[in-house]
Amino acid sequence: MKRWLELPFRLLLMVAGFIFVFNLPALLGIGETLTFNLEPFWNSVKGNLQELTRIDDTSYISLFDEQNFTESYRYTMTIFCYSLLTVMGTGMLAAMLVQLMPKKISRVLKQGINFFEGVPDLMVIFLIQFFVIVLYRETGLKFLQLYGVFGAKPYVVPVVTVSFLPAMLLSQFLIKVLEEEVVKDYIQYSRAKGLSPLRILIIHMLRNIFPLFIMQLRTSIWIILSNIFLIEFMFNLPGFTKVLQLVTLRGGGFLGLVICLLLFILPLLVMEFLSLIAIKTVNRKESASI
Amino acid sequence: MRSNRKTAIGSAILLLLLIASLLYPLYGPADYDKKVMIINEAGKVIGSAPFPPSSEHIFGTDRNGQDMLLLLLYGAKFTLITAIVVAFLRVIIGGLVGVFISLWAPWLKKYVNDFFTVFRFVPSTFLGIILMLPVMFHEERQISTVVVYQILMVVLIGIPSVIVFTEELTEELLNKSFITTSLLMGASKFHIIKRHLLPFFRSYGILFTVQQLLTTLQITMHLGIFGFFLGGPTEGGIVGFDEPPKSASLSNEWAGLIGQNLYDFIRAPWTISTTIVLFFLVIQVVNMIKKELEEKMAGLPQLTRMPKLVQTSTRTVGNPGPDQFIFVNEKKSLGS
């Protein structure tokens, strides 16, 4: 295929995949048995395409206004940013601790972190919820807000709940990467020269695994976003999930849905771009070294 | 030969649970020991459901007065069978497509990946909700159709990742020298699949299935939270103070049990926690199997998550153990 055709074609494919998946329920008719009905499917695809091209139609705006759109988006993104920072900080710190501690302690730490690999996220959510409720019942302390009722906007509990498992996964990944890095020649060399372990770790190793870190961050962001979606529903938080739900269930139109989804996964898109750059750097480095 | 002890124990546990659940109609009461109120001799009501765990109801009862333990036992089969069926279908369909693409149409790979971009960006729970919308509301429908539809949708959500994994694995294997040699000597692609790839796929297929089992359990749980139950909702639902009554899961499978008791968590935490703990145990068992399988795979070409990355430099030049030495004269005597 010609070079200049390639990119538009692939973009078209992405859009086609998107529209196909969202119209799949129309393709499968549910009656006595499952039937393929192409006609409704085709009609609904056509309808969606028409809607996508009519940018000037702004009927969905009123629906957005009703849910104070910007306010809820800001809230969700604030939770997201705090969670991401927490995940990065905790993950890094845990990995560094495991790397620096004596063998015995680090083995225990590693086992603890590996344990959380198999813990379902719902269990973590319920445990934290239970903890907050019990704390309130026993001590009457109400500084940890849980639910988003009566205009309340809790931050602490959602951020902790959202970022707990991703932080564990990130640190697990970093521990593995650091273990692979530590046997490399330049580390042996700098250790032989007498540099302190902390200095080697911070100045040399962390800098070298940075591209890998960026690439893993994409997974972390993905989990954080899914968790936010879940938690905002469960705790009834006044976040962007409300808008998404409204648009899906009450029919805010296909264009409205697309805009909402794009806004929701915006961090993921940014991250994708960053990790593309990271991959390029890694590959260049690899081709430079023997 | 490494043993399969953990896999055997894990599978036995799951099988036992499944059999106990399948045989439930033979030993369990059909109404799950339903008891809404406790009345003392004087005819006074001294308690009403949900009852906390006691010696009579080990796991407590839900708001309908149904015994949680019996409900869980009854529902286990639906959860397990769905998860297993979905995982198998995902691996078989995704695997076939992946192998076909990487052997016969490598140029198609990036376009297929583009087509499935939406799965890489939209959270799968949200996709599941969109796809399940048509069967969410209670209408008169054939239950089998609803279930088939739901299973198809959950299968679809997992297929793109299986395709990508299979493609990576096949490409890595195709680069092995024994396969390139075989190709150079004129082997057909079917021969390559039958002789060289199939032995690998057999072991990797099991690993993929176990991994997909985990993700399936996860997504059914999430869908249950949002009220999208496998098998659809019932008309009656959970009685209580909400009007109209909250719809309940028809099949009593575990994710549905979590979803239908979601708002009882504060008043009756045991309705949720027992289910979650059992879910956790099942996932731990599956995870145990997965870990052992992964360890066994360590000898085979590793499937790296990031194929384009720096190779790990592990230098393990082991010395042969003392039992591996054979003196020359002994060797001669062995030979003669």
Q: Judge whether residue A13 has pLDDT over 60.
A: yes
**pLDDT tens, A119-146?**
888 888 888 888 888 888 887 766 666 6
| Minimum mean pLDDT range among A164-173, B89-98, B148-157, B322-331 | B322-331
Confidence at B146, pLDDT banded by 50, 70, 90: confident
Q: Would the CB atoms of A119 and B280 count as touching at under 8 Å?
A: yes
- In 3D space, the residue among B75, B70, B71, B80 whose CA is nearest the CA of residue B13 turns out to be B80
Is position B259 within any domain? yes
| Spatial distance between the Cα atoms of A11 and A15, rounded to a whole number of angstroms | 6
| pLDDT above 50: residue B298 | yes
Q: Which helix (H) or strand (E) holds B209?
A: helix B198-225
* Predicted confidence band of residue A148 (pLDDT cuts 50, 70, 90): low
What is the pLDDT at residue A93?
92
Residue B315 is assigned to a structural domain of this protein: no
Computed over every residue of chain B, the mean pLDDT equals 79
Q: What is the mean pLDDT of residues B264-289?
A: 86
- Does the residue B54 lie in any domain? no
Distance CA A173, CA A176 (A): 5
Most confident residue range from A18-27, A248-257, B229-238: A18-27
Q: What is the ipTM of this complex?
A: 0.84
Give the residue from chain A lying closest to B156, CA to CA: A21
Buried b (16+ CB within 10 A) or exposed e, B250-278: bbbbbbbbbbbbbebbeebbbbbbbbbeb
pLDDT attached to residue A118: 78
pLDDT in tens, B5-17: 888 999 999 999 9
Q: Which of A155, A91, A90, A120 is nearest to A226 (CA)?
A: A120
B293 to each of B170, B204, B287, how far by Cα in Å? Answer: 19, 9, 10
B156 near A CB under 8 A? yes
DSSP strand pairing (B45-48 vs B37-39): antiparallel
> What is the Cα–Cα distance from B83 to A227, expressed in whole angstroms?
22
Give the structural domain span for B205.
Answer: 76-298
CATH code of the domain covering residue B183: 1.10.3720.10
> The pTM is what?
0.83
For the segment B122-128, the average pLDDT, to the nearest whole number, is 88
Higher pLDDT, B159 or A27: B159
Q: Does residue B118 belong to any structural domain of this protein? A: yes
In a domain, B24, yes or no: no
Q: How confident is the model at residue B317 (pLDDT cuts 50, 70, 90)?
A: very low
Concatenate the DSSP letters of all residues of A46-70 into one string.
HHHHHHHH-TT--HHHHHHHHTTHH
CB contact under 8 A, A244 and B126: yes
Provide mean pLDDT across the span B280-286. Answer: 90
Query: How many structural domains does chain B have?
Result: 1
Antiparallel, parallel or unpaired: β A34-36 and B45-48 = unpaired
Cβ of residue A244 closer than 8 Å to a chain B Cβ = yes
Say which residue the tokens 């009501």 belong to.
Answer: B45
Contact (CB<8Å) B265/A120: no
Domains of chain A listed by start with CATH number? 1-53 (no CATH), 54-289 (1.10.3720.10)
- Determine, yes or no, domain membership for B325: no
- B224 occurs within a structural domain: yes
Decide if B65 is inside a domain: no
Residue found by looking up tokens 């055997």 in the block: B8
Q: What average pLDDT does the segment B232-256 reach?
A: 65
Top pLDDT among A242 and A226 is at A226
Residue B1, pLDDT > 80, answer no
Q: Report the distance separating Cα A257 and Cα A245, nearest Å.
A: 10
CB contact under 8 A, B145 and A33: yes
Listed in sequence order, the residues at least 6 apart from A176 whose beta carbon sits closer than 8 Å to its beta carbon are: none
Residue of B nearest to A18 (CA): B118
| Dihedral-angle region of residue A68 (phi above 0 means left; psi in -120 to 50 means alpha; beta otherwise) | left
